[in-house]
Structure 1
């Protein structure tokens, strides 16, 4: 298994990225896992030495001449900078030289790169970004979309329910994941016209375990394993949840559940619905976040969720 990491993407790259890779290597990687760092080779090698990466660590470096900046236009940047760390990462993923590609760089470039390289799974209307929502009784629910598709038609939301169900089944080892629609009330007739129509489509889908609507207050209470919403609402809710950790820290509050709302605890979000394993991390990612992003990527490759989605939709 080879996990590719964009060493040049992120607000604190390449230092935080390489430090996170070094942390992952020191903590012990599963047998057979190799980490492929993509970026400026001399800089990366100097940082690996700085962070005292063990000489026998399963880490290789793939040189990239260019970097896509955080503020660059995604499509233009990918076409104008094919030798960027993101461009090369997707080339390696498309050619199956690596089994996953991760970056804390330009989110738009990561999403566009996934769509134009490994492409959407046949039958998927809109690939989406999934977020992991901690639950009070333990574990996580997967929420999708959390930012890729701000406006969604009912049939897109309904498909998110199916994509999330398959993803949760193989990633969390759940026989029948509970799928819920985020809404402004539990009643079937509540919400916008889009939400009402999506509810009916989810309700009619016999391939999923749809439990109905949930409200914002239910997000952390173990009511659902899969939370369906559009990217605008999902992004707002997800970032609100992430803010709890910073608020608690300013008040010197220590709590195990609130610690899980810290973005570093999972480290990244997968793009669900494409033909490959693509993980997007926060631009502000620290070394710890990168270490956990690598662990997430390994689990995702092991789950083989994207091929299970392709099989289900074929």
Structure 2
């Protein structure tokens, strides 16, 4: 198996990417190879500086870089030899089984939509995030930013894709799916959530537990939390802020350590024809390592193929 990493993506690239790859090869299975995509001379020099010599690392040259502030669509069309564009090309061709980047989030999303494309039958791919649970596990929350405005059938598919991910990557046998709302009662919420509730209620393949509230995010009431991208992004950023505040006050314990974005490393795009993980722009070497490990687990479980089998037209 080969997992591609955008070595030029992120606020601290390429140093953080190389450090992350160095850490990852110590934990990845011996049959997994990391393909570093970016400027070959820079990558080679950094690998040498960090004393990394391994058959598990390969370099694939890409002469251009998409900056964090560049317009995603324009940048991809104007920079066909960027590390993001080349990485998606490797994924589309099947040369690698997953692609990760802590670079321009918009470019990663647009690249996925226009290169490997959405799975036929998926209305809108979503970005999944992860929330720590009091029992020590992680739950899935989808969407966390790709789709600020959704329709009921889109939320329904988010629940289906999130459930497939939770089952195949997190190993949860029968994931409980909850719809984020402002009350538990069926008639509560906006017109969107009320209509979505009715769709969830008649889907016998999902373990739908009904509406959940903000206080249920970290308990075991739901393994998969469904919401629009606006709501999900607010929840995710709020959780990150809790970690930052507690860290400043030296009030952390193992549970709150999991609020740190580094613990998971990145957010997968679900509903596209390939395994894609987007990392935080400020990703450290540890975050990059965990992003690579997550991508390897996704590729190993063939989660995108299971979504295609379940939702594909």
Same fold (TM over 0.5): yes
Per-residue deviation, 1:204 = 1.1
Partner of 2:5: 5
* Runs of at least 4 residues off by over 4 Å: none
1:284-313 per-position Cα deviation (integer Å, ceiling 9, x unaligned):
000110011111111111111110111112
Q: Which runs of 5+ in 2 are unaligned?
A: none
The match for 1:137 is 135
Superposed displacement of residue 58, structure 1 = 0.7
Q: 1:216 aligned to 197, 214, 221, which one?
A: 214
1:256 Cα deviation after fit: 0.5
Name the residue aligned to 1:33: 32
Distance (Å, rounded) in 1 between the aligned partners of 2:155 and 2:27: 39
TM-score (norm 1): 0.98
Q: Choose the corresponding residue for 2:114, options 88, 110, 116.
A: 116
1:99-144 CA-partner distances (Å, limit 9, x unpaired): 0000000000000100111111110000000011110111111000
How far off its partner does 1:175 sit? 2.4
Matching of residues 56-71 of structure 1 within 5 Å: 56-71=54-69
In structure 2, the CA distance between the partners of 1:219 and 1:68, relative to structure 1 (3 Å rule), is same
Match runs of 1:199-238 below 5 Å: 199-238=197-236
In the TM superposition, what is the alpha-carbon distance from 1:20 to its structure 2 partner?
A: 1.0
CA–CA distance in structure 1, aligned partners of residues 37 and 65 of structure 2: 10
Deviation at 1:56, TM superposition (A): 2.9
Given that 1:66 and 1:85 are in contact with CA atoms closer than 8 Å, whether structure 2 keeps it comes out as: yes
User: Whole-Å Cα distance in 2 between the matches of residues 207 and 193 of structure 1?
Assistant: 24
1:306 correspondence with 2:304: yes
Output the CA distance in 1 between the equivalents of 2:232 and 2:27: 34
Distance across 2 between alignment mates of 1:22 and 1:168: 28
User: 2:44 is matched with which residue?
Assistant: 45
Report the aligned-residue RMSD: 0.9
Shift of 1:254: 2.6
Distance in 2 between the 1:277 and 1:93 partners?
8
The alignment covers a number of residue pairs equal to 312
List alignment gaps of at least 5 residues for structure 1. none
Task: Report the 3-state secondary structure (helix = DSSP H, G, I; strand = E; otherwise coil) of the residue aligned with 1:117.
Answer: helix
TM-score (norm 2): 0.98
CA shift, 1:169, in A, is 1.4
Change (3 A) 1:140 1:28: closer
The C-alpha deviation readout for 1:156-215, integer Å capped at 9, x for no partner, is: 111111111112111122221100000001111111111110111111111101000001
Separation in 2 of the partners of 1:7 and 1:56?
Answer: 16
What is the CA-CA distance between 1:29 and the residue it aligns to?
2.4
Deviations 1:186-245 (A, max 9, x none): 111111111110111111111101000001111001111110000000000011112222
Q: What is aligned with 1:148? A: 146
- Contact 1:19–1:47 at 8 Å: present in 2 too? no
